[in-house]
Amino acid sequence: MVRILALVLTVFLQGITALQKEFTIIITPGGRDCFYENAQAGQTVDLEYQVIDGSHGDLDISFELADSSGRLIFADYKKSDNIHRYKLPHDTELTMCFSNEFSRVNSKTVFFELIIEGEDEDGGWSNFDILEGLSPEEFYDMKVQDAQDIIKRVRNNLTKARQLQDVLRSHEARDRNVAEENYFKVNAWSFFQIITMMCVGFCQVVMVKSLFDTESKAHKFLTKM
């Protein structure tokens, strides 16, 4: 059983060749931030981004993904969110740039997740040196293919669950920022209305009072008009 457990853990660790990074960044007004990551041929790049706060402005950002030669792979202009998936034909250094150059007042808070995944075709099962010393009964009882399928399925489900949780967190942060922005606008507009009502009421009181006070400056001013 110890050998079996060691084999399962070894294969599980060998089968994981994915790189996953998550960032929450703030792009200043008129600013542009770039990130770089090396990737190999045959790997698949999954990138998702979302603007979660616009500092009382629109939730949008421009995005570019380019390879080491400067060739643009994807380009978005003033989008709130997007998902890109690309399989690399050759080894390269990826350049990911977020641009807020079109905005001169509002900064943007952006959440993005980068996954670079590649997996060997044999899934790490080509080396069976660890099986030396096992009896034929122990070898066949292991059901290697079944164990491989289970491990892959568990790993994929865990990865998907984590990605879904990250997306839900980003949506929650964005919704909270939108709610706070609406709360700020409602309070600002209410304050403006209150000030306007107070000014109008004060003017009405002064005008009505001036009708009965013939010596007041307001009465003289109104009679001249």
Q: Is a pLDDT exceeding 90 seen at residue 63? A: yes
Q: Is a pLDDT exceeding 60 seen at residue 2? A: no
Lowest mean pLDDT among 9-23, 61-75, 77-91, 112-126: 9-23
Q: Per residue in 104-162, pLDDT tens?
A: 888 999 988 888 887 544 444 444 455 556 566 666 666 666 667 777 778 777 877 77
Residue-level pLDDT at 225:
64
Q: Is a pLDDT exceeding 50 seen at residue 90? A: yes
Q: Is a pLDDT exceeding 80 seen at residue 1? A: no
Residue-level pLDDT at 8:
47
Instruction: Name the average pLDDT for the chain.
Output: 78
Highest mean pLDDT among 63-72, 115-124, 141-150, 181-190: 63-72
Spatial neighbors of 80 by CB under 8 A, at least 6 apart, are 50, 51, 59, 60, 61
3-state secondary structure 135-182: CHHHHHHCCHHHHHHHHHHHHHHHHHHHHHHHHHHHHHHHHHHHHHHH
Q: Per residue in 7-34, pLDDT tens?
A: 444 444 444 456 888 888 999 999 999 9
* 44-72 mean pLDDT: 88
Residue-level pLDDT at 204:
83
Q: Is a pLDDT exceeding 90 seen at residue 65? A: yes
What pTM does this model have? 0.58
Distance CA 187, CA 178 (A): 14
Task: Give the pairing type, strands 108-117 and 44-53.
Answer: antiparallel
Could you tell me what percent of the chain has a pLDDT over 90? 23
